Structure 1
Amino acid sequence: MQRRLFSLVPVLALVAGLHAPQLASAQDVTIGMSFPSATHGWMGAIIKNAQDQAKASGVRHVMTTAADPNKQTNDVEDLIAKKVGAVVMLPIETDAMTRAAAKLKAANIPLIIVDREVKTDDYAALIKGDNVGIGANAAAYIGQALGGSGSVVEIIGVPASVTVQRSQGFRDAVAKSYPGLKVIASQAGDFQREKSLNVMQNVLQQHPKIDAVYTHDDEMALGVLQAIREAKRTDIKVVTGAGGSKAVYKLIADKDPVMKATFVYSPLMVKDAVKVAVDVARGSKPANKVITIPATAVTATNVASLYDAKANY
Protein backbone atom coordinates (compact mmCIF):
# COMPACT_ATOMS: atom_id res chain seq x y z
CA MET A 1 0.00 0.00 0.00
CA GLN A 2 1.46 3.37 -0.97
CA ARG A 3 0.30 6.85 -0.13
CA ARG A 4 1.02 9.55 -2.66
CA LEU A 5 0.67 12.90 -0.97
CA PHE A 6 -0.98 15.33 -3.35
CA SER A 7 1.60 17.11 -5.45
CA LEU A 8 0.91 20.82 -5.31
CA VAL A 9 3.05 21.64 -8.34
CA PRO A 10 0.07 21.87 -10.75
CA VAL A 11 -1.60 24.31 -8.39
CA LEU A 12 1.50 26.47 -8.19
CA ALA A 13 1.75 26.50 -11.96
CA LEU A 14 -1.11 28.97 -11.61
CA VAL A 15 0.78 30.90 -8.94
CA ALA A 16 4.35 31.41 -9.98
CA GLY A 17 3.80 32.94 -13.38
CA LEU A 18 6.86 34.95 -14.35
CA HIS A 19 5.60 38.50 -14.77
CA ALA A 20 9.01 40.18 -14.65
CA PRO A 21 12.53 39.40 -15.85
CA GLN A 22 14.55 37.32 -13.41
CA LEU A 23 17.02 39.59 -11.68
CA ALA A 24 19.30 37.07 -9.97
CA SER A 25 20.44 33.53 -10.48
CA ALA A 26 19.40 30.85 -8.01
CA GLN A 27 22.95 30.76 -6.64
CA ASP A 28 22.67 34.45 -5.69
CA VAL A 29 19.48 33.95 -3.69
CA THR A 30 19.20 33.38 0.06
CA ILE A 31 15.79 32.46 1.42
CA GLY A 32 14.94 33.10 5.06
CA MET A 33 12.66 30.64 6.83
CA SER A 34 10.74 31.36 10.03
CA PHE A 35 8.77 28.47 11.50
CA PRO A 36 7.44 27.31 14.88
CA SER A 37 9.47 24.69 16.70
CA ALA A 38 8.69 21.11 15.70
CA THR A 39 6.55 20.09 18.67
CA HIS A 40 4.55 17.67 16.52
CA GLY A 41 5.03 15.58 13.41
CA TRP A 42 3.33 17.89 10.93
CA MET A 43 5.57 20.82 11.83
CA GLY A 44 8.62 18.59 11.68
CA ALA A 45 7.63 17.64 8.13
CA ILE A 46 7.14 21.31 7.24
CA ILE A 47 10.71 22.10 8.31
CA LYS A 48 12.20 19.07 6.52
CA ASN A 49 10.26 19.72 3.31
CA ALA A 50 11.30 23.39 3.30
CA GLN A 51 14.96 22.49 3.69
CA ASP A 52 14.71 19.81 1.01
CA GLN A 53 13.12 22.21 -1.46
CA ALA A 54 15.72 24.92 -0.86
CA LYS A 55 18.42 22.37 -1.62
CA ALA A 56 16.57 21.15 -4.72
CA SER A 57 16.20 24.74 -5.92
CA GLY A 58 19.91 25.36 -5.55
CA VAL A 59 19.57 28.31 -3.18
CA ARG A 60 21.04 29.14 0.17
CA HIS A 61 18.66 29.30 3.11
CA VAL A 62 18.65 30.47 6.71
CA MET A 63 16.36 28.35 8.90
CA THR A 64 14.96 29.71 12.17
CA THR A 65 12.50 28.07 14.56
CA ALA A 66 10.78 29.52 17.59
CA ALA A 67 8.62 28.36 20.48
CA ASP A 68 6.88 31.70 21.02
CA PRO A 69 5.92 34.86 19.09
CA ASN A 70 8.64 37.01 20.68
CA LYS A 71 11.36 34.64 19.51
CA GLN A 72 9.81 34.41 16.05
CA THR A 73 9.68 38.21 15.82
CA ASN A 74 13.36 38.38 16.76
CA ASP A 75 14.10 35.72 14.14
CA VAL A 76 12.39 37.81 11.47
CA GLU A 77 14.40 40.86 12.53
CA ASP A 78 17.59 38.80 12.21
CA LEU A 79 16.57 37.69 8.72
CA ILE A 80 15.99 41.33 7.79
CA ALA A 81 19.47 42.18 9.08
CA LYS A 82 20.92 39.39 6.94
CA LYS A 83 19.22 40.96 3.89
CA VAL A 84 17.70 37.71 2.66
CA GLY A 85 15.98 37.75 -0.72
CA ALA A 86 12.61 36.57 0.60
CA VAL A 87 11.13 35.05 3.75
CA VAL A 88 8.91 31.98 4.05
CA MET A 89 7.02 32.23 7.34
CA LEU A 90 4.55 30.04 9.19
CA PRO A 91 3.25 32.39 11.90
CA ILE A 92 3.05 31.12 15.48
CA GLU A 93 0.46 33.73 16.42
CA THR A 94 -1.55 36.08 14.25
CA ASP A 95 -1.22 39.51 15.90
CA ALA A 96 2.50 39.44 16.69
CA MET A 97 3.43 38.12 13.28
CA THR A 98 1.24 40.71 11.58
CA ARG A 99 3.63 43.25 13.05
CA ALA A 100 6.58 41.18 11.83
CA ALA A 101 5.07 41.16 8.34
CA ALA A 102 4.99 44.96 8.44
CA LYS A 103 8.70 45.01 9.28
CA LEU A 104 9.47 42.85 6.26
CA LYS A 105 7.36 45.15 4.10
CA ALA A 106 9.28 48.18 5.37
CA ALA A 107 12.54 46.41 4.56
CA ASN A 108 11.26 45.61 1.04
CA ILE A 109 11.72 41.87 1.61
CA PRO A 110 8.98 39.71 0.02
CA LEU A 111 7.03 37.51 2.43
CA ILE A 112 5.49 34.16 1.56
CA ILE A 113 3.13 32.87 4.25
CA VAL A 114 2.33 29.21 4.81
CA ASP A 115 -0.63 27.74 6.68
CA ARG A 116 -1.63 30.36 9.27
CA GLU A 117 -2.76 33.82 8.23
CA VAL A 118 -1.91 37.31 9.44
CA LYS A 119 -4.09 40.42 9.62
CA THR A 120 -2.57 42.18 6.65
CA ASP A 121 -2.07 41.69 2.95
CA ASP A 122 1.57 42.79 3.15
CA TYR A 123 2.81 39.55 1.63
CA ALA A 124 3.70 38.30 -1.83
CA ALA A 125 1.77 35.03 -1.52
CA LEU A 126 -0.23 32.96 0.95
CA ILE A 127 -0.31 29.18 0.55
CA LYS A 128 -2.68 27.36 2.87
CA GLY A 129 -4.99 24.43 3.24
CA ASP A 130 -8.76 24.81 3.35
CA ASN A 131 -9.24 25.11 7.09
CA VAL A 132 -12.90 26.05 6.87
CA GLY A 133 -13.34 23.08 4.54
CA ILE A 134 -11.73 20.74 7.06
CA GLY A 135 -14.32 21.76 9.64
CA ALA A 136 -17.22 21.58 7.22
CA ASN A 137 -16.15 18.20 5.83
CA ALA A 138 -15.65 16.81 9.33
CA ALA A 139 -19.16 17.95 10.28
CA ALA A 140 -20.56 16.23 7.19
CA TYR A 141 -18.69 13.01 7.88
CA ILE A 142 -19.65 12.88 11.55
CA GLY A 143 -23.22 13.95 10.84
CA GLN A 144 -23.69 11.19 8.29
CA ALA A 145 -21.95 8.59 10.44
CA LEU A 146 -24.22 9.37 13.40
CA GLY A 147 -27.40 9.63 11.39
CA GLY A 148 -27.68 13.36 11.96
CA SER A 149 -27.66 13.50 15.75
CA GLY A 150 -25.31 12.89 18.65
CA SER A 151 -22.91 14.45 21.15
CA VAL A 152 -19.55 15.69 19.85
CA VAL A 153 -16.34 16.75 21.59
CA GLU A 154 -14.04 19.18 19.78
CA ILE A 155 -10.29 19.17 20.44
CA ILE A 156 -8.85 22.39 19.05
CA GLY A 157 -5.36 23.63 18.20
CA VAL A 158 -3.35 26.69 19.21
CA PRO A 159 -4.75 30.25 19.14
CA ALA A 160 -4.31 31.06 15.44
CA SER A 161 -6.31 31.50 12.24
CA VAL A 162 -6.12 27.75 11.52
CA THR A 163 -7.91 26.90 14.75
CA VAL A 164 -10.52 29.63 14.37
CA GLN A 165 -11.34 28.56 10.82
CA ARG A 166 -11.47 24.82 11.54
CA SER A 167 -13.78 25.42 14.47
CA GLN A 168 -15.99 27.89 12.62
CA GLY A 169 -16.25 25.67 9.56
CA PHE A 170 -17.41 22.79 11.73
CA ARG A 171 -19.93 24.78 13.74
CA ASP A 172 -21.38 26.57 10.73
CA ALA A 173 -21.89 23.26 8.90
CA VAL A 174 -23.48 21.71 11.98
CA ALA A 175 -25.87 24.64 12.39
CA LYS A 176 -26.83 24.57 8.73
CA SER A 177 -27.05 20.85 7.96
CA TYR A 178 -26.78 18.80 11.16
CA PRO A 179 -28.59 20.64 13.98
CA GLY A 180 -28.96 17.34 15.80
CA LEU A 181 -25.23 17.32 16.54
CA LYS A 182 -24.38 18.96 19.86
CA VAL A 183 -20.86 20.08 20.78
CA ILE A 184 -20.75 19.22 24.47
CA ALA A 185 -17.10 20.15 25.11
CA SER A 186 -14.29 22.03 23.38
CA GLN A 187 -10.76 21.80 24.76
CA ALA A 188 -7.33 22.85 23.48
CA GLY A 189 -4.86 20.12 22.60
CA ASP A 190 -2.46 22.62 20.97
CA PHE A 191 -1.67 20.20 18.11
CA GLN A 192 0.21 17.97 20.58
CA ARG A 193 -0.46 14.28 21.19
CA GLU A 194 0.45 14.23 24.89
CA LYS A 195 -1.60 17.30 25.79
CA SER A 196 -4.56 15.94 23.83
CA LEU A 197 -4.29 12.66 25.71
CA ASN A 198 -4.45 14.50 29.03
CA VAL A 199 -7.27 16.79 27.91
CA MET A 200 -9.32 13.89 26.59
CA GLN A 201 -8.85 11.94 29.81
CA ASN A 202 -10.51 14.82 31.66
CA VAL A 203 -13.29 15.10 29.09
CA LEU A 204 -14.04 11.38 29.38
CA GLN A 205 -14.41 11.70 33.14
CA GLN A 206 -16.80 14.62 32.76
CA HIS A 207 -18.98 13.13 30.01
CA PRO A 208 -20.23 9.54 30.34
CA LYS A 209 -21.78 9.59 26.85
CA ILE A 210 -19.92 10.83 23.78
CA ASP A 211 -20.69 9.85 20.20
CA ALA A 212 -17.84 11.46 18.25
CA VAL A 213 -14.68 13.51 18.61
CA TYR A 214 -13.66 16.12 16.05
CA THR A 215 -9.96 16.93 16.37
CA HIS A 216 -8.16 19.67 14.47
CA ASP A 217 -5.04 17.57 13.84
CA ASP A 218 -3.89 13.97 13.45
CA GLU A 219 -1.40 14.15 16.33
CA MET A 220 -4.23 15.25 18.61
CA ALA A 221 -6.42 12.48 17.22
CA LEU A 222 -3.80 9.91 18.22
CA GLY A 223 -3.74 11.27 21.77
CA VAL A 224 -7.54 11.18 21.89
CA LEU A 225 -7.56 7.57 20.67
CA GLN A 226 -5.11 6.57 23.38
CA ALA A 227 -7.30 8.15 26.06
CA ILE A 228 -10.39 6.39 24.71
CA ARG A 229 -8.68 3.02 24.69
CA GLU A 230 -7.13 3.40 28.11
CA ALA A 231 -10.55 4.31 29.51
CA LYS A 232 -12.10 1.34 27.66
CA ARG A 233 -14.88 3.55 26.35
CA THR A 234 -17.09 1.91 23.74
CA ASP A 235 -19.67 4.68 23.29
CA ILE A 236 -17.50 6.76 20.94
CA LYS A 237 -18.18 5.79 17.34
CA VAL A 238 -16.08 8.25 15.33
CA VAL A 239 -12.85 10.22 15.68
CA THR A 240 -11.66 12.47 12.86
CA GLY A 241 -8.32 14.19 12.37
CA ALA A 242 -6.61 16.52 9.91
CA GLY A 243 -3.22 16.61 8.26
CA GLY A 244 -2.70 13.15 6.83
CA SER A 245 -0.11 11.46 9.06
CA LYS A 246 1.11 7.98 8.17
CA ALA A 247 -0.02 6.66 11.56
CA VAL A 248 -3.59 7.85 11.04
CA TYR A 249 -3.68 6.70 7.42
CA LYS A 250 -2.65 3.23 8.58
CA LEU A 251 -5.36 3.14 11.23
CA ILE A 252 -7.95 4.08 8.62
CA ALA A 253 -6.58 1.51 6.17
CA ASP A 254 -6.71 -1.17 8.87
CA LYS A 255 -10.37 -0.26 9.48
CA ASP A 256 -9.89 0.97 13.03
CA PRO A 257 -13.30 0.88 14.77
CA VAL A 258 -13.06 4.54 15.85
CA MET A 259 -10.47 6.41 13.73
CA LYS A 260 -12.60 6.78 10.63
CA ALA A 261 -11.42 9.81 8.66
CA THR A 262 -8.89 12.57 8.29
CA PHE A 263 -8.62 15.49 5.89
CA VAL A 264 -5.73 16.42 3.62
CA TYR A 265 -3.56 19.23 4.91
CA SER A 266 -0.25 18.26 3.42
CA PRO A 267 3.04 19.64 4.75
CA LEU A 268 4.18 19.46 1.13
CA MET A 269 2.56 22.88 0.69
CA VAL A 270 5.72 24.45 2.08
CA LYS A 271 7.72 23.14 -0.89
CA ASP A 272 5.59 25.26 -3.15
CA ALA A 273 6.02 28.22 -0.82
CA VAL A 274 9.80 27.89 -1.14
CA LYS A 275 9.51 27.67 -4.93
CA VAL A 276 7.48 30.87 -4.98
CA ALA A 277 9.97 32.55 -2.63
CA VAL A 278 12.84 31.69 -4.97
CA ASP A 279 10.95 33.04 -7.98
CA VAL A 280 9.97 36.23 -6.17
CA ALA A 281 13.51 36.78 -4.90
CA ARG A 282 14.72 36.42 -8.49
CA GLY A 283 12.35 39.11 -9.70
CA SER A 284 9.14 37.38 -10.74
CA LYS A 285 5.64 38.07 -9.45
CA PRO A 286 3.09 35.40 -8.43
CA ALA A 287 0.07 35.29 -10.71
CA ASN A 288 -2.21 34.57 -7.73
CA LYS A 289 -1.70 35.94 -4.25
CA VAL A 290 -3.72 33.36 -2.29
CA ILE A 291 -3.74 29.63 -3.00
CA THR A 292 -5.96 27.23 -1.05
CA ILE A 293 -5.40 23.46 -1.14
CA PRO A 294 -8.66 21.42 -0.98
CA ALA A 295 -9.49 19.55 2.25
CA THR A 296 -10.02 16.15 0.64
CA ALA A 297 -11.52 13.54 2.97
CA VAL A 298 -9.39 10.43 3.51
CA THR A 299 -11.44 7.37 4.44
CA ALA A 300 -11.27 3.62 4.01
CA THR A 301 -12.45 4.01 0.42
CA ASN A 302 -9.47 6.05 -0.82
CA VAL A 303 -6.67 5.74 1.74
CA ALA A 304 -4.85 2.99 -0.19
CA SER A 305 -4.24 5.37 -3.09
CA LEU A 306 -2.83 8.09 -0.82
CA TYR A 307 -0.54 6.21 1.58
CA ASP A 308 3.23 6.60 1.20
CA ALA A 309 5.45 4.81 3.70
CA LYS A 310 8.37 7.08 2.72
CA ALA A 311 6.58 10.33 3.52
CA ASN A 312 8.15 12.62 6.14
CA TYR A 313 4.93 12.74 8.15
Structure 2
Amino acid sequence: GKVVEIWGLKGSTPAQERHDGFVKGIESHEQIEVIYEQDGAWLRRKGREIMENALQRFQNIDLVYAHNDPMAMGAYLAAQNAGREEEMYFIGIDGLPGPEGGAQAVLNGQLDATFLYPTGGQKAIEIASKILNGEEVPKYITLETATITPENAEKYANR
Protein backbone atom coordinates (compact mmCIF):
# COMPACT_ATOMS: atom_id res chain seq x y z
CA GLY A 1 0.00 0.00 0.00
CA LYS A 2 0.96 3.62 -0.54
CA VAL A 3 1.39 5.70 2.61
CA VAL A 4 1.46 9.41 3.38
CA GLU A 5 3.34 10.07 6.63
CA ILE A 6 2.74 13.38 8.39
CA TRP A 7 5.55 14.04 10.84
CA GLY A 8 5.06 15.85 14.12
CA LEU A 9 8.11 18.10 14.13
CA LYS A 10 11.20 16.70 12.47
CA GLY A 11 14.07 16.78 14.91
CA SER A 12 11.88 16.32 17.97
CA THR A 13 12.26 13.10 19.96
CA PRO A 14 8.54 12.16 19.89
CA ALA A 15 8.35 12.60 16.10
CA GLN A 16 11.53 10.60 15.52
CA GLU A 17 10.34 7.80 17.82
CA ARG A 18 6.93 7.68 16.11
CA HIS A 19 8.60 7.55 12.70
CA ASP A 20 11.12 4.90 13.78
CA GLY A 21 8.38 2.75 15.30
CA PHE A 22 6.35 2.96 12.11
CA VAL A 23 9.35 2.09 9.93
CA LYS A 24 10.14 -0.88 12.17
CA GLY A 25 6.52 -2.00 11.99
CA ILE A 26 6.39 -1.98 8.19
CA GLU A 27 9.94 -3.13 7.37
CA SER A 28 8.91 -6.75 6.83
CA HIS A 29 6.09 -5.70 4.49
CA GLU A 30 7.74 -4.88 1.16
CA GLN A 31 4.41 -3.91 -0.40
CA ILE A 32 4.11 -0.89 1.92
CA GLU A 33 5.74 2.24 0.52
CA VAL A 34 5.89 5.72 2.02
CA ILE A 35 5.25 7.90 -1.03
CA TYR A 36 5.07 11.29 0.67
CA GLU A 37 6.22 12.63 4.02
CA GLN A 38 6.12 16.16 5.34
CA ASP A 39 6.53 17.98 8.65
CA GLY A 40 3.15 18.94 10.10
CA ALA A 41 4.52 20.66 13.24
CA TRP A 42 1.85 18.84 15.32
CA LEU A 43 -0.84 21.15 13.85
CA ARG A 44 -4.24 20.16 12.43
CA ARG A 45 -4.03 22.99 9.89
CA LYS A 46 -0.67 21.73 8.63
CA GLY A 47 -2.00 18.17 8.42
CA ARG A 48 -4.79 19.44 6.21
CA GLU A 49 -2.42 21.44 3.98
CA ILE A 50 -0.05 18.49 3.60
CA MET A 51 -2.92 16.20 2.68
CA GLU A 52 -4.30 18.69 0.15
CA ASN A 53 -0.88 18.64 -1.56
CA ALA A 54 -0.66 14.84 -1.38
CA LEU A 55 -4.12 14.45 -2.90
CA GLN A 56 -3.10 16.64 -5.84
CA ARG A 57 0.16 14.77 -6.37
CA PHE A 58 -0.98 11.17 -5.91
CA GLN A 59 -3.93 9.35 -7.41
CA ASN A 60 -3.55 6.33 -5.12
CA ILE A 61 -3.13 6.70 -1.36
CA ASP A 62 -3.99 3.76 0.86
CA LEU A 63 -3.07 5.03 4.31
CA VAL A 64 -2.37 8.30 6.07
CA TYR A 65 -0.20 7.88 9.16
CA ALA A 66 0.05 11.07 11.21
CA HIS A 67 2.19 11.50 14.31
CA ASN A 68 -0.78 12.90 16.26
CA ASP A 69 -4.55 12.88 16.09
CA PRO A 70 -5.04 16.56 15.18
CA MET A 71 -2.86 16.18 12.06
CA ALA A 72 -4.68 12.94 11.17
CA MET A 73 -7.98 14.80 11.49
CA GLY A 74 -6.68 17.62 9.30
CA ALA A 75 -5.73 15.05 6.68
CA TYR A 76 -9.13 13.39 6.95
CA LEU A 77 -10.90 16.73 6.46
CA ALA A 78 -8.80 17.48 3.37
CA ALA A 79 -9.66 14.08 1.89
CA GLN A 80 -13.32 14.54 2.81
CA ASN A 81 -13.34 17.95 1.12
CA ALA A 82 -11.95 16.29 -2.01
CA GLY A 83 -14.50 13.47 -1.79
CA ARG A 84 -11.72 10.90 -1.33
CA GLU A 85 -11.93 9.99 2.37
CA GLU A 86 -13.35 6.52 1.62
CA GLU A 87 -10.32 5.64 -0.53
CA MET A 88 -7.87 5.42 2.36
CA TYR A 89 -7.36 4.71 6.03
CA PHE A 90 -6.42 7.36 8.60
CA ILE A 91 -4.32 6.58 11.67
CA GLY A 92 -3.20 9.00 14.37
CA ILE A 93 -1.41 8.83 17.68
CA ASP A 94 -2.32 10.06 21.17
CA GLY A 95 -5.80 8.62 21.66
CA LEU A 96 -6.85 11.57 23.76
CA PRO A 97 -10.31 11.47 25.36
CA GLY A 98 -12.98 14.12 25.00
CA PRO A 99 -15.07 15.48 22.14
CA GLU A 100 -12.05 16.67 20.11
CA GLY A 101 -9.82 13.70 20.91
CA GLY A 102 -8.62 10.91 18.69
CA ALA A 103 -10.71 8.25 20.44
CA GLN A 104 -13.87 10.21 19.60
CA ALA A 105 -12.68 10.62 16.00
CA VAL A 106 -12.41 6.82 15.80
CA LEU A 107 -15.92 6.51 17.25
CA ASN A 108 -17.14 9.04 14.66
CA GLY A 109 -15.64 7.01 11.82
CA GLN A 110 -13.18 9.75 10.87
CA LEU A 111 -10.03 7.97 12.02
CA ASP A 112 -9.68 4.23 11.54
CA ALA A 113 -7.38 3.89 14.54
CA THR A 114 -5.23 5.79 16.97
CA PHE A 115 -2.64 4.67 19.47
CA LEU A 116 -2.77 5.65 23.10
CA TYR A 117 0.44 7.52 23.88
CA PRO A 118 0.65 7.86 27.65
CA THR A 119 2.42 10.98 28.86
CA GLY A 120 3.71 9.34 32.02
CA GLY A 121 2.98 12.29 34.29
CA GLN A 122 1.05 10.30 36.87
CA LYS A 123 3.65 7.53 36.89
CA ALA A 124 6.46 10.10 37.28
CA ILE A 125 4.77 11.53 40.37
CA GLU A 126 4.31 8.04 41.83
CA ILE A 127 7.99 7.21 41.27
CA ALA A 128 9.17 10.58 42.63
CA SER A 129 7.11 9.99 45.77
CA LYS A 130 8.68 6.56 46.24
CA ILE A 131 12.17 8.02 45.81
CA LEU A 132 11.45 10.76 48.35
CA ASN A 133 10.22 8.11 50.79
CA GLY A 134 13.39 6.07 50.33
CA GLU A 135 11.63 3.21 48.56
CA GLU A 136 13.21 1.06 45.86
CA VAL A 137 12.18 1.90 42.31
CA PRO A 138 12.86 0.00 39.09
CA LYS A 139 15.58 1.32 36.82
CA TYR A 140 13.29 1.16 33.77
CA ILE A 141 9.54 1.73 33.64
CA THR A 142 7.41 0.78 30.65
CA LEU A 143 4.19 2.70 30.15
CA GLU A 144 1.19 0.79 28.83
CA THR A 145 -0.22 1.72 25.45
CA ALA A 146 -3.20 0.51 23.44
CA THR A 147 -4.51 0.44 19.91
CA ILE A 148 -7.84 2.26 19.76
CA THR A 149 -10.17 0.92 17.08
CA PRO A 150 -13.92 1.21 16.45
CA GLU A 151 -14.38 -1.91 18.60
CA ASN A 152 -12.94 -0.34 21.79
CA ALA A 153 -13.00 3.43 21.14
CA GLU A 154 -15.96 4.15 23.41
CA LYS A 155 -13.96 2.94 26.43
CA TYR A 156 -11.18 5.43 25.64
CA ALA A 157 -13.31 8.34 24.43
CA ASN A 158 -15.08 8.64 27.78
CA ARG A 159 -12.19 8.04 30.21
Give the TM-score category using the shorter length.
0.7 to 0.9
Please report the TM-score for the alignment, with normalisation by the length of structure 1. 0.46
Per-residue deviation, 1:285: 5.5
**Equivalents in 1 of 2:61, 2:157: separation in Å?**
30
Which of 115, 140, 150 pairs up with 1:263? 115
Within a 5 Å distance, the mapping from 1:78-97 to structure 2 comes to none
Match of 1:211 in 2: 62
What percentage of residue pairs aligned between the two structures are identical? 28
Which of 17, 24, 43 pairs up with 1:165? 17
Are 2:90 and 1:239 equivalent residues in the alignment?
yes
Are 2:104 and 1:250 equivalent residues in the alignment?
yes
Per-residue deviation, 1:210: 0.7
Match of 2:42 in 1: 191
1:290 partner SS:
coil
1:172 partner SS:
helix
Please report the TM-score for the alignment, with normalisation by the length of structure 2. 0.85
**Equivalents in 2 of 1:162, 1:285: separation in Å?**
30
Structure 2 residue ranges without an equivalent (≥5): none
Task: List per-residue Cα deviations over 1:192-225 (Å, max 9, x = no partner).
Answer: 2122222222222221221110111112111111
Conserved 8 A contact 1:210-1:235: no
1:245 partner SS:
coil
Give the total of aligned pairs.
155
1:242 partner SS:
strand
Conserved 8 A contact 1:156-1:188: yes
> Which structure has the bigger radius of gyration?
1
Conserved 8 A contact 2:92-2:115: yes
Are 2:152 and 1:302 equivalent residues in the alignment?
yes
Match of 1:90 in 2: none
Give the structure, 1 or 2, with the largest relative contact order (CA under 8 Å, sep 6 or more): 1
2:27 partner SS:
helix
RMSD of aligned residue pairs (Cα, Å): 2.0
1:179 partner SS:
coil
**Equivalents in 2 of 1:284, 1:173: separation in Å?**
40
Which of 252, 265, 289 pairs up with 2:139? 289
Match of 2:78 in 1: 227
1:259 partner SS:
coil
Per-residue deviation, 1:160: 2.1
